[in-house]
Amino acid sequence: MPWEQTDAYIRSGHKSVEEFDPESIRTIWISRKRGIKAIIGKRRGETDGEMEIISYLFALEKGWTLEKAKKWFEAHVSDVDAVSKEHFYCLMPILERMMEKPLRIRGVALTAGISRNLNIYLEKELEDFAEKLVGAPVYLEHVSALNAIGKVVNAEWNREARAVFYEAEIYDEEVADKIRKGLIRHVSVAADYQRVDRINGKIPHGLHNAELSLVAVPGIPSTSIQIVEKLDSESNLRIGEIQKALQSLAKRVKVLEAENKRVIEKTREKSVRAVVAPEALEAASVSVDLSKVSLRDVMKNLR
């Protein structure tokens, strides 16, 4: 394939993408400092096959021109269709690190309602579409498969939220860093449709052949990106805090129960002493001076 130039990269002459399994395609760094990436993948039907370099990307922001890129290519690649073994083996540690633990993200991919592009998504359509999003590639700003940076590993329709939630893996280290730093916060879904109704907007039906892109300005503002590892750690932290609080509360309850028991026993002892005390059982003696009582008053009380 011929050399190409996009808004961000110069792409070297490459092998046909159709020959490779789309789910295996990854973008890795060869030199972050110099702005050189490699697009790699496994050939279709070769599940146990080795990863091959499909093409190289040279970042324009690093000063690459078509002439400079071709010179670098000639100096480092023995043939247009193959990379020298020595150079390929140098890439393997990078590849292995990225493949071992990709960044896992999740969030809202689509919501029922109208988008900024005046697309109207019906709940039933999104419910049927959710499972078709699984396995879809993840791009940056809806670019071609050569710039795939990950894939969707799970998606489901949530009736209460009226939204399709996704979970995806990101293999590109630079993109993962931007997500961690909060520089990329939204996603956008692109898909083919079987037909579209035009009633105060476009109502697509039969959505299929989807892809998920990380974007700066989404068609649906409520889309989101959250890091799964971060959510799990925060959940574990909250659970730990709750457990500590419960343990502290349990200790406090025991202390209060012991204190309450002590007070009750002390009160009971005082009550018992008040009942059995001799002075409480003796009748109080009362002296009466009868000389001061008139006989008339005594006779009145006897009647």
Ramachandran angles phi, psi of 131, nearest 5°:
-65, -25
Quick: pLDDT tens for 203-227: 999 998 888 988 888 888 888 888 8
Give yes or no for residue 63 having a pLDDT over 90: yes
> Which CATH number does the domain 103-224 belong to among 3.40.190.10, 3.40.50.720, 1.10.1740.10, 3.20.16.10?
3.20.16.10
Whether 94 has a pLDDT exceeding 60, the answer reads no
Whole-angstrom Cα distance, residue 186 to residue 221? 8
- Residue 157 has a CB neighbour count (10 Å cut-off) of 20
pLDDT, residue 14, reads 72
Token digits of residue 174: 């630079």
Higher pLDDT, 84 or 295: 295
Sheet holding 26-31, edge to edge: 4-5, 9-11, 52-59, 36-41, 26-31
Number of Cβ atoms within 10 Å of the Cβ of 81: 10
pLDDT bin (cut points 50, 70, 90) of residue 95 is very low
Per-residue pLDDT tens digits for 15-33: 777 888 887 787 877 787 8
The predicted-structure confidence for 104-146, as pLDDT tens digits, reads as follows 999 999 999 988 888 889 999 999 999 999 998 888 877 655 5
Compute the average pLDDT of residues 2-18.
84
* pLDDT at residue 47, as a whole number: 62
- Model pLDDT for residues 240-273, shown as the tens digit of each residue: 566 666 677 677 777 777 777 777 777 766 655 5
The stretch 143-157 carries a mean pLDDT of 80
Stronger pLDDT, 190 or 284, i.e. the higher one:
190
Answer yes or no: are the C-beta atoms of 120 and 220 closer than 8 Å: no
Handedness of CA 29, 35, 36, 40 (dihedral sign): positive
Instruction: Kindly indicate the confidence band of residue 296, based on its pLDDT and cuts at 50, 70 and 90.
Output: low
Does residue 89 have a pLDDT over 70? no
Q: What percent of the chain has pLDDT over 70?
A: 70
Strand partners, 121: 113
pLDDT for the residue numbered 81: 43
Q: Where are the alpha helices (DSSP H) in the chain?
A: 66-76, 85-100, 123-129, 173-180, 228-276, 278-281, 295-302
Chain segment 78-88, per-residue pLDDT in tens: 444 444 333 44
User: What's the pLDDT at 205?
Assistant: 92
Check: pTM over 0.85? Answer yes or no.
no
DSSP codes joined into one string, 233-269:
HHHHHHHHHHHHHHHHHHHHHHHHHHHHHHHHHHHHH
Amino acid at the residue 224:
S
**Mean pLDDT, rounded, of the chain:** 76
- The pair of three-digit structure tokens given for residue 160, joined into one six-digit string: 């209460």
Percent of residues in the chain assigned helix, strand, coil, to nearest 5: 40, 30, 30
Q: Return the minimum-mean-pLDDT range out of 21-30, 31-40, 88-97.
A: 88-97
pLDDT (tens digit per residue) in 226-238: 887 655 555 555 5
Phi-psi region of 39 (alpha: psi -120 to 50; beta: other; left: phi over 0): beta
State which amino acid sits at residue 273.
R
Q: With contact defined as beta carbons under 8 Å apart, do 112 and 123 qualify?
A: yes
The confidence score (pLDDT) of residue 153 equals: 93
